[in-house]
Amino acid sequence: MLSAQATELLARAVLALLAVGVVVFMAWDRRRLGYTRMQYVLYVIWRGYLHFVWRATIDRPARLQPGQGAILIANHRSSIDQFFVQMATPRVVRWMVAREFFKLPVGGWILREVMGCIPVSRAGIDTAATKAAIRLAQEGQVIGMFPEGRINETAELLLPGRPGVALIALRARVNVVPLFIQGAPYAGTVASSFFMPGRVRVRVGEPIDLSPYFGQEGDRQVLELLTLRFLKEMARLAGRDDFQPRLAGRRWMPKPAPQEDAPCPETTATGS
């Protein structure tokens, strides 16, 4: 039998080997994903939240061609929907985020320098942000967007859609991949979702080939047709083939659901 001193030395050696193994694995995993150090730190924290707090699962990854740009779209029920869209691909998803969030001391730095988000104005059409999203998609980046344009706090499955996704996708000449998120926690504030457990399910649809419409981004009817199609595809992923999508007018605002019909927290366009 080993002496107490030898047993202690062996235990320390095993722990040291395990620590080295973890470090080597994390270094290999970060290079495999192509993340920066800070992106990988956030990735590890994010994975922990997904598994232990939100118990999130996804039916399959998005079918994206290596190095090819794309736009991932999803319904928007929670301030943390971006985290669930990111599950669809190991590539970093770039988001258009309201400009005021970039003024936050730490959060603004993370959005700008770590996550590479695109600042966008809430007032009207932000041409600079739209051009930035188009350029990134053309360069092979993955852009995340919410066609509803805001968090849906109504009893409707989906809010009326806005044409921004179609416009950017056609100008960048990339495919659009629909997703549907079910069970994302939300209690009315951005921070609330981080303290709420959930059981989130993400369903991923097939890429929508927009090549027949390339060059027609100036045609309003084409943009509206595609916007309705995107909403219809998301509804189909939710099991609602009967859903009739609508378009948002310039002055459209959602009506809050009656208290008794309000959607459960378990179930954010641009990022919001």
Contact 245, 140 (CB under 8 A): no
**Structural domain includes residue 89:** yes
Tens digits of residue pLDDT in 220-241:
999 999 999 999 999 999 999 9
pLDDT at 268 over 60: no
**Structural domain includes residue 72:** yes
- The pLDDT of residue 250 is 66
Tens digits of residue pLDDT in 249-265:
765 444 554 443 333 33
Range of the domain at 222: 66-261
Q: What whole-number distance in Å separates Cα of residue 35 and Cα of residue 271? A: 21
- The pLDDT of residue 264 is 34
**Structural domain includes residue 95:** yes
Tens digits of residue pLDDT in 57-88:
999 999 998 889 999 999 999 999 999 999 99
**Structural domain includes residue 42:** no
pLDDT at 23 over 80: no
Number of domains in the chain: 1
Tens digits of residue pLDDT in 149-165:
899 999 999 999 999 99
Tens digits of residue pLDDT in 104-141:
888 888 888 888 899 888 666 678 899 999 999 999 99
**Structural domain includes residue 171:** yes
All residues at 6 or more sequence positions from 158 whose CB lies less than 8 Å from its CB, including other chains: 75, 148, 152, 231, 234, 235, 243, 245
**Structural domain includes residue 14:** no
**Structural domain includes residue 104:** yes
Closest CA to 75 of 64, 65, 85, 66: 85
Tens digits of residue pLDDT in 95-106:
988 888 888 888
Tens digits of residue pLDDT in 172-228:
999 999 999 999 999 888 788 888 999 999 999 999 999 999 999 999 999 999 999
**Structural domain includes residue 4:** no
